Amino acid sequence: MSENTTETTELLPLPTDRYLDREMSWLAFNQRVLELAEDPTIPILERANFLAIFASNLDEFFMVRVAGLKRRIVTGLAVPTNVGRAPSDVLADIRAKAYELQLRHAGAYQNLVSPELKEAGIHVVDWSSLDAADHEILRTYYEQHIYPILMPLAVDPAHPFPYISGLSLNLSIRIRNPRTDKEEFARLKVPQMIPRLIRVDRRESDESVRFIPLEELIANQLDDLFPGMEVLDHHVFRVTRNEDVEIEEDETENLIQALEKELLRRRFGPPIRLEISEDMDEDTLNLLIREFDITEREVYTLPSPLDLRGLFGLTGLDRPELKYPKHIPVTNAYLRPPNPSSKANLFKAISRREILVHHPYESFATSVQAFLEQAAADPNVLAIKQTLYRTSGDSPIVAALIKAAESGKQVLALVEVKARFDEEANITWARKLEKAGVHVVYGLVGLKTHCKLVHVVREENGILKHYSHIGTGNYNPKTSRIYEDFGLFTSSDTVGRDLTRVFNVLSGYAIEKKYDRLLVAPLHLRDGLLEHIAKETAAAEAGEPSGIKIKANSMVDEIVIDALYRASRAGVPIDIWVRGICSIKAGVPGLSETIRVRSVLGRYLEHSRIYAFHNGGWDSIYIGSADLMHRNLDRRVEVLVRLKEEEHLAQINELFALAFDEGLSTWKLMPDDTWQRRIISDEGEPLPELQDIVMQQRQSFRARRDR
């Protein structure tokens, strides 16, 4: 590249419309989830599951992102979005696109998924399609399991409009008193502790089975709830509330008590979306709009059934031929015992080499979980330090920490009680850990602790040795089966010293400014990434090999994006693999011609974060917990660790090669800002999925090592 071209690259201003709107980009991500539900090549029960995932995702989007936009507009604190638009304009676009997607979602269920479920012998039926014998079975079930817990609530001058909890299904009921000929209104909440889909057939076989939605069963028994009254009609509705928790932290206030008060307030957050069945009459709708104090723009009229999260209830059916082929994670080759009857010594294995584990292709139970359990039981282990952001309700990780503390070890657990929607569970675990003698800390004021760290100190021949795990995912055995993540095990003293410093910052009053193998947010991570991007830019300008590869859940940070645009203008090849929000543009002449963006969705949720830089030979590769979002780089404690082993560097580069292989099925971000997915080859054959190939590779790698 010539000197004049270099100067032009540096001085030419970046266009003002260089970002994709983050909220609309998120909706584009959820559209990709919906496209999986519409994909006829995917097993039908998995497609039903993707419909449920789409619904669950959209609920959270409204509870957090839409609620936040609306709150800022109402309070007068609204600032332009990342693309410079007024939040009120973005909110209007969100409503239009979300409504379009919800209608498409309902259509996918009615026209695509439901018919194929029926062909497979799985029927979601209504009351009118059942015969008298079926009605008798269901009435018996209703009387024994449902009727005693129903609570119809009248609405009249003596009974004000009741509180409607967020995401609950409700029946609005109009009744008439025959004596006075007066019409009344009542509300009935559909119980959330009862399965949403009630099985009509009591036989054990899953080969042909019928389900009736719970609200449909209840709606056809209303005469029993209002004896002596005439039930005129009923309709289903559902409200979404602002359920984001905002803690105004004060160093003198008890964080747990403040959070508990805020969680109580969450239940009464203002309504932000009202979903109604398309048969609802105008009088009932006007009543709901008035009582919820919302506008007609916040009403979403949809075909029944509402809330397709209920389709999660089909995943338990014993129909393996209608699901993805079962995959059993393999034990990482370096963590396997010498013979099947013995137990692997993980400390010995990690002391020999650094080990990179890739979940769920490789087992969490025989790696991370086994590491902590061995550390808890090992008399030579003196201390265990761990961060906990999200974990499962019956967590063996927490059990191991408790066992370690009870055996006299020094145990520190950094429990992030502000992990969104897991706050109550984390408070419960924090108190249980404290009772066992674990030193529990809750992080730093104003910051969430999102990093995934375990640091074990073990005495060996009179010397203290460090054993560490740094991961991209939560210490959660359940999600480890469906979330794709990496984790590095190392006995490196350098990493051990770095983690000692990190935990001292988290638990004490230390202010650390230097780490050797880590990039740590909020003080160093963005600057470290920008420094690497600048090196690649300089290499390209000097005519030397260069390249950047990034894998993240979300990419929003404008400072990093602008640095990538400048690198692209200098000629740096840039590959970005993103699952969700993506504000960077790809392949735009004069801006991002060398930037390629791909998205992979499938049976596993792509969750790992990787930052790779050519540096003369693709040897600067980091994994860790941080996405490229403001919150991750500025308001969270995040940690990336640099990989050292040639085998690990090669593994990461091979993974990126797969993600950008035109012969695989992925989504591609186009220069016109749309996402395109190719699932059929030029020869008319289904294109292979990246996750299937990685699964096969891990299985074959194990087989080769067995030989």
Helix (H) or strand (E) holding 169: strand 169-177
CA angle 36/584/17 to nearest 5° reads 120
Tokens encoding 651? 């593994």
Q: Is the CB of residue 615 less than 8 Å from the CB of residue 595?
A: no
d(CA 648, CA 651): 5
Q: Given strand 122-124, what is the order of strands in its sheet? A: 122-124, 209-213, 197-199
Write out the DSSP string of 331-343. Answer: PPGGGS-SSTTS-
Q: Give the position of tokens 């490229």.
A: 628
d(CA 192, CA 239): 14
Q: Give the position of tokens 């359990």.
A: 373
Tokens encoding 27? 């909706």
Tokens encoding 280? 């609802």
Which amino acid does the sequence have at 658? Answer: L
List, in sequence order, every beta strand (DSSP E) within 330-482. Answer: 355-359, 381-388, 410-415, 439-441, 448-449, 452-460, 463-471
Residues making up the chain, counted from first to last: 707
Q: 344: Cβ–Cβ under 8 A, 6 or more apart, which residues?
A: 331, 335, 336, 337, 366, 370
d(CA 598, CA 576): 6
Would residue 145 show up in a list of annotated catalytic residues for this protein?
no
Tokens encoding 122? 């799985």
What are the beta bridge partners of residue 383? 410, 457
Q: Of residues 450, 455, 466, 648, which has the active-site annotation?
A: 450
Tokens encoding 93? 């676009």
d(CA 613, CA 621): 6
Indicate the Cα dihedral angle 120, 121, 125, 127, nearest 10°.
170
Which amino acid does the sequence have at 596? Answer: R
Closest CA to 218 of 155, 150, 154: 150
- Classify 468 as helix, strand or coil: strand
b/e per residue, 161-171, with b = 16+ CB within 10 A?
Answer: eeebebbebbb
d(CA 368, CA 362): 11
Q: Catalytic residues, which ones? A: 450
